[in-house]
Structure 1
Amino acid sequence: MTANANSAENPYPVRAVAIRIAGWIEKLGTVWVEGQLTQINIRPGAKTVFMVLRDPAADMSLTVTAPRDLVESAPVKLAEGVQVVVCGKANFFTGRGTLTLRLSEIRAVGIGELLARIERLRRLLDAEGLFDLRLKRPIPFLPNTVGLITGRASAAERDVTTVAAARWPAVRFAVRNTAVQGPTAVAQIVAVLKELDADTCVDVIVLARGGGSVEDLLPFSDETLCRAIAACRTPVVSAVGHEPDNPLCDLVADVRAATPTDAAKRIVPDTAAEQHLLDDLRRRSAQALRHWVTREERILAQLRSRPVLAEPLTALTARADEIHRARSAVRRDINRVIDAETERVGHLSARLATLGPAATLARGYAVVQAVTPEGRSAVLRSTADAPAGTALRVRVGDGAIAAVSEGPADGE
């Protein structure tokens, strides 16, 4: 380690560090820088103008100085919020330890260049899907509280609150006043946007401004603001009111309103219109109910006029008569069959009585049977079957008698 090496035992003096920093910054040379001018300080009689050049997309700034004649001869009138491109050389003042950018040239950023940059940013955000219609959140029919971001005592605030209250008197607002143009607008709008989005009572947020030039509306095409709107969980309505060239926040927001008045009409319903709608629906429903009842009454009348319902017992009476006739016919047919069969049985019984043995016996005939000692009997068919002493059983018309055979009779 050399004797001149920097260490706790061998620290640099302030002047050495300041000189080294000035040397490093000197190596940067001349640079072109773009930004927004803020805090322009032109002191009477001073030859140097002190200004602050701010980055519109980030909370960063540089102190710049310029000769008074350069500021007075600038292509545009320099004022706070003006977008410029400057050429300068960084200087580190060792005596105060401050860094400034000494300007040697100032150029205004033209409208065409601004629009071209906005168009490039639009294509970038579109490629990332921030304009996708499927991501748009619907506005609630009747929001609990409406968050309103607008300029202080602005016409846009008056238009939104007055028109919304006239349409729905019970509407409530959470108004946040911010700068709506200039270098501080984006930071303020993003801050209150996050605040309202975190409030659970706020159901919709309206970002309102009453139009303006392209330069005035630059904050509403800022990338930081566009991404903050896309990140909101609460639906956002953009009501910047600049028809020729829509700022990018119109494309990112969930709903774009042409004017602050149009935004008021979109966020709350019209009491008179809703009442008229309710009256119309009530009238139509009552009319539909009356038509339905009339139609059903007509159907019931048609059903009641039918014979089956007008005289419900007629069918039963007709069937009863038919059943009575059928029963009479069946009873008559059965009696006829019984009489015929009775007569036929009588004829058969008479024929049977005529042809049977009882009738023969009644005419004086007899049936002689030989009775064996075992008690069995058999009809005699020959005299040889009844020798003398054979027990006989003689059956006549009114009974039977017992006899003993004496053998065949003589001469027979």
Structure 2
Amino acid sequence: MAVSTSAEEPIPVSQVSRLIGGWIDRLGAVWVEGQITQLSRRPGAGVVFLTLRDPSHDVSLTVTCFRQVFEPVADVVGEGARVVVRAKPEWYAPRGQLSLRAAEIRPVGVGELLARLEQLKRRLTAEGLFAPERKRPLPFLPQLVGLVCGRASAAERDVLENARLRWPAVSFEVRNVAVQGVRAVPQVIGAIRELDAMDEVDVIVVARGGGSVEDLLPFSDEEVVRAVAAARTPVVSAIGHEPDSPLLDLVADLRASTPTDAAKKVVPDVGEEQARIQQLRERSLRALRGFLDREERGLSAALHRPSILRPQRMVEDREAEVAALLERGRRTFRHLLDRADSELSHTRARVLALSPKATLERGYAVLQRADGTAVRTPEEVEPEEELRARVAEGDFTVRRTVSGPS
């Protein structure tokens, strides 16, 4: 809609901005291709900010999107990546700024491929195929190693030569397969299942040299991953070089960075094992000698104890203790007897001192009537009554005579 203006009747900047915003709002969503030059994801923020640039014309636009739109491609899209964005133009009137509100982001080329792989990875992770508790330990010394690799490839040569250098007695069951192209997936799956069905195969190594992301795609195929997950035999993944990480690395029981590294991890080194055995023998010998030395010192110390050198000393010590206790008992008993004898003598002396006989011995006499009662007063005696007089040395009869008044 045209707006009539003149030098005498201009319109404000804010109105121009609103008019531009109205025109832009009538535009529909468009697909835009460009390169990400800036990427801002603030922790906790619900909006992601991008700067999308056209390298051929050096033109840039700001792109905003909600986090849930960006999360599906967050692991494969970064600064410098080429993307295709479905977005609707938006005009921010207060600043007069044009931006795009993205509703969908798709990586271009390798990025798109990586995005599909990331989605497959998340789905298989949710199923538990990559869980650590599913990993099985490798046998210490496998008698037969299954090897899946390309025919006459460097990976096959690296695994065979390095493994036999480490352990010359190791044997291999080799299955040559296509390691890229349309035939790679069915041939790799068939080789893995065939080797897994052989009871004498102790471990399976899947090896391939380095290559591009597209070359290594067969080892991220879902069917290959599920075949490895279903295998009863432990599987070692040795695909590409250190930076390469196909999905086979995640489902395998052990990941080797290179085919050479796989050979080192599958079989032990005979020289190292011999050295370890020698070290263990020396440690065992030192431990045994130390044990014998300690026991010998303990036995020697026991033999030099007084109780062993002169065992009768214990009896002699006890005999002396018994003799001392016996003598002590005798002294105590004699002391008790002497004290009792002294107390008895004192008691006897007191009894004798208080007895009537002692009184009689001092010249006194006791007069008794015929019935044995003692005479205490003269009135108790009848005239001419016979009495018995007891003195210290015997007794005699006396008679009371009546005399005239005095």
After TM superposition, is the score higher than 0.5? Answer: yes
| 1:381 counterpart letter in structure 2 | R
Shift of 1:170: 4.6
Q: Structure 1 residue aligned with 2:403, among 399, 402, 410?
A: 410
Residues 344/132 of structure 1: CA separation in 2 closer, same or farther (3 Å cut): closer
What SS does structure 2 have at the residue aligned with 1:189? Answer: helix
2:283 matched to 1:284?
yes
| 1:259 counterpart letter in structure 2 | T
CA distance in 2 between counterparts of 1:175 and 1:389 reads: 162
| 2:380 counterpart letter in structure 1 | D
Residue aligning to 2:117: 122
Shift of 1:304: 7.4
What SS does structure 2 have at the residue aligned with 1:234? Answer: coil
After superposition, give the CA deviation of every residue in 1:337-357 in whole Å (9 maximum; x if it has no partner).
Answer: 654664564455345435532
CA distance in 2 between counterparts of 1:138 and 1:149 reads: 19
**Conserved 8 A contact 1:366-1:395:** yes
**Conserved 8 A contact 1:125-1:131:** no
**Conserved 8 A contact 1:141-1:268:** yes
**Conserved 8 A contact 2:202-2:234:** yes
**Conserved 8 A contact 1:387-1:408:** no
Residues 249/344 of structure 1: CA separation in 2 closer, same or farther (3 Å cut): closer
**Conserved 8 A contact 2:256-2:262:** yes
Residues 391/159 of structure 1: CA separation in 2 closer, same or farther (3 Å cut): farther
After superposition, give the CA deviation of every residue in 1:188-216 in whole Å (9 maximum; x if it has no partner).
Answer: 21123233334454432211234455554
CA distance in 1 between counterparts of 2:145 and 2:287 reads: 38
Shift of 1:264: 1.8
Residues 238/118 of structure 1: CA separation in 2 closer, same or farther (3 Å cut): farther
What SS does structure 1 have at the residue aligned with 2:373? Answer: strand
Shift of 1:289: 3.7
Alignment map for 1:197-276 (pairs within 5 Å)? 197-212=196-211, 214-243=213-242, 245-276=244-275
What SS does structure 2 have at the residue aligned with 1:224? Answer: helix
**Conserved 8 A contact 1:146-1:205:** yes
After superposition, give the CA deviation of every residue in 1:301-359 in whole Å (9 maximum; x if it has no partner).
Answer: 67877888888888987887688667657755764665466456445534543553223
CA distance in 2 between counterparts of 1:114 and 1:146 reads: 38
Residue aligning to 1:359: 358
CA distance in 2 between counterparts of 1:191 and 1:155 reads: 22
Residues 146/194 of structure 1: CA separation in 2 closer, same or farther (3 Å cut): same
Shift of 1:146: 2.6
**Conserved 8 A contact 2:386-2:400:** no
**Conserved 8 A contact 1:118-1:221:** no
| 1:410 counterpart letter in structure 2 | S
What SS does structure 1 have at the residue aligned with 2:369? Answer: strand
CA distance in 2 between counterparts of 1:225 and 1:212 reads: 18
Residues 214/349 of structure 1: CA separation in 2 closer, same or farther (3 Å cut): closer
| 2:159 counterpart letter in structure 1 | V
What SS does structure 2 have at the residue aligned with 1:149? Answer: strand
Residue aligning to 1:148: 147
Residues 257/395 of structure 1: CA separation in 2 closer, same or farther (3 Å cut): same
After superposition, give the CA deviation of every residue in 1:225-281 in whole Å (9 maximum; x if it has no partner).
Answer: 233323434322112334454433234323222332321221122232122112102
**Conserved 8 A contact 1:370-1:378:** yes
CA distance in 1 between counterparts of 2:259 and 2:325 reads: 93
Structure 1 residue runs without a partner (length 5+): 1-111
Residue aligning to 2:374: 379
Structure 2 residue runs without a partner (length 5+): 1-106
CA distance in 2 between counterparts of 1:118 and 1:378 reads: 150
Residues 202/368 of structure 1: CA separation in 2 closer, same or farther (3 Å cut): farther
Residues 136/362 of structure 1: CA separation in 2 closer, same or farther (3 Å cut): same
Shift of 1:384: 2.7
Per the normalisation by structure 1, the TM-score is 0.56
CA distance in 2 between counterparts of 1:289 and 1:193 reads: 49
Residue aligning to 1:191: 190
Residue aligning to 1:88: none
Residues 244/318 of structure 1: CA separation in 2 closer, same or farther (3 Å cut): closer
| 2:115 counterpart letter in structure 1 | R
Residue aligning to 1:65: none
Alignment map for 1:57-206 (pairs within 5 Å)? 115-128=110-123, 129=125, 130-133=129-132, 135-143=134-142, 145-206=144-205
Q: CA RMSD in A?
A: 4.2
Per the normalisation by structure 2, the TM-score is 0.57
Residue aligning to 1:370: 369
